[in-house]
Amino acid sequence: MTTSGSTHLDAIVAGVREDLAARRAAVPFEAISTQARAVTRSNRLREHLFGGRPAIIAEIKRASPSKGWIRRDLDAVAMAREYVAGGVCAISVLTEGRRFGGSLQDLADVRSALPDTPLLRKDFILDGYMLAEARVFGADIVLLMVSVLGERIAEMLESAASYGLDALVEVHDESELKVALDAGVDIVGINNRNLKTLAVDLAVSERMLPMVPSEVIKVIESGISSPEEVRHLAAMGADAFLVGETLVRSGDPASEIGRLLSRQY
């Protein structure tokens, strides 16, 4: 529940900040940073895309602020294996625990099971500590939100690169896209969800896709549930689609991935 004058995002970030403080107290930044710089794994997202054909980044997500529990008993490793069987280009693992039911342990478990699959740490990244721990626990890619980081995006991109991490920079409107592009983003995520109201509108992607340079990887986030939507937005330039709830609710995620991409092959 948000308080008067606050937003859903404010409440989530406040919780993330509290949990981060506890982890910092347990493991100093110097220690986690040293561990992160020792990781040599390289699973670059661009190398796992499908040569101009749309791809799916499948998300492991037990809950969300808008829907509550989606699948409380979700087994992260079992779900990840089903995603790989469906032919995804990468897997997104939500690690925020209070509202999404995720954990860094989920990320570590999936990494151990699938050493060659690009993994995205999906969380509300606040600083370099969270970048370092993302690398240590198995991420190849991190989500950086302009709505959270603002003009700090450029420095966070540089820090992520220093750990060997790709960064998916999330934007919701034209002003956020300008911040991302000015920072030299390689991968942009256009999120159709309004983080203040939690409403989803695919018109956001339709409006913003033409504004993104062709060399930047374009990922569509939120609200994708049909092959028609995939086909339509791919024709407008989308390279990949981050899909969570539709797959988690499906009894057969591999087949659902095939359904979303069925008209593309």
Is residue 61 flagged as an active site residue?
yes
Choosing from 33, 147, 159, 191, which is the catalytic residue? Answer: 191
Choosing from 82, 133, 176, 221, which is the catalytic residue? Answer: 221
Is residue 170 flagged as an active site residue?
yes
Choosing from 43, 61, 96, 176, which is the catalytic residue? Answer: 61
Choosing from 82, 96, 170, 256, which is the catalytic residue? Answer: 170
Choosing from 122, 159, 176, 205, which is the catalytic residue? Answer: 122
Measured CA distances, 221 to 155, 171, 236 (Å): 24, 10, 15
Is residue 59 flagged as an active site residue?
yes
Choosing from 33, 59, 82, 92, which is the catalytic residue? Answer: 59
Is residue 192 flagged as an active site residue?
no
Question: Which of 230, 197, 221, 189 lies closest to 50, judged by CA?
Answer: 230
Is residue 176 flagged as an active site residue?
no
Is residue 196 flagged as an active site residue?
no
Is residue 228 flagged as an active site residue?
no
Q: Could you give the residue numbers annotated as active site?
A: 59, 61, 122, 170, 191, 221-222
